[in-house]
């Protein structure tokens, strides 16, 4: 509450807490959307390098196929960014959800691993050699590209998710206090 007036929607939450939560949500969604296309490109490059190492002289990409693969990775990267941003807003909209946000955001990114994997599969890149734990945890990740943490996408994302998480808890606590 600000000066005895209920916050937005009459929920008893200070306007400052709601504004900070919204600001951090927008910033997080923007940072993730900006980082995803580059992440897709890096995944494709790593997948190609791993495929060449695994297949040896039995699998190669000529210069034209390599350029086409790069263009495809760029276009798919933007599609992946749209997907991630849309799914991320679902996570960010669940202010009352008491589960930690970081694993849910990572899960969205893991789901987006299908985008660079599709590029690699269409190019005929050999699948990665994975250990048993990776195969058990991520059975659909044939190229070993699924991120295990937000830092793999961008080093600042874990800190930003933590700031959003703190702002979310402030709003939740204020709502609970106002409800009595």
Q: pLDDT digits over 20-64, tens only? A: 888 898 898 889 889 999 999 999 999 998 888 877 777 777 888
| Helical spans, DSSP H, in 7-156 | 15-55, 63-93, 101-112, 114-122, 132-137
For residue 131 the two structure tokens come to 């250990």
In the numeric block, the tokens 């699924």 are attached to 146
Residue 57: other Cβ atoms inside 10 A:
6
Q: How far is CA 67 from the centre of its chain?
A: 26
**Which residues are within 8 A (CB) of 148 and not within 5 positions of it... i.e. 6 or more apart?**
106
Lowest mean pLDDT among 12-16, 100-104, 144-148, 170-174: 12-16
- pLDDT bucket at 3, cuts 50 / 70 / 90: very low
How many angstroms separate the CA atoms of 81 and 35, rounded?
Answer: 8
pTM: 0.81
């Amino acid at each position: 509450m600000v000066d005895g007036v209920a916050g937005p929607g009459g929920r008893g939450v200070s306007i400052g807490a709601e504004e900070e939560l919204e600001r951090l949500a927008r910033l997080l969604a923007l940072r993730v959307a900006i980082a995803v296309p580059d992440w897709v490109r890096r995944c494709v490059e790593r997948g190609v390098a791993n495929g060449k190492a695994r297949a040896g002289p039995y699998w190669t990409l000529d210069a034209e196929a390599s350029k086409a693969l790069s263009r495809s990775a760029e276009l798919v990267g933007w599609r992946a960014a749209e997907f991630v941003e849309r799914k991320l807003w679902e996570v960010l909209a669940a202010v009352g959800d008491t589960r930690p946000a970081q694993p849910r955001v990572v899960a969205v990114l893991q789901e987006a691993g299908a985008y660079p994997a599709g590029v690699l599969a269409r190019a005929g890149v050999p699948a990665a050699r994975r250990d048993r734990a990776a195969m058990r945890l991520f059975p659909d990740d044939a190229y070993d590209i699924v991120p295990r943490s937000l830092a793999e996408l961008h080093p600042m994302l874990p800190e930003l998710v933590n700031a959003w998480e703190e702002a979310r808890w402030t709003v939740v606590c204020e709502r609970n206090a106002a409800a009595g």
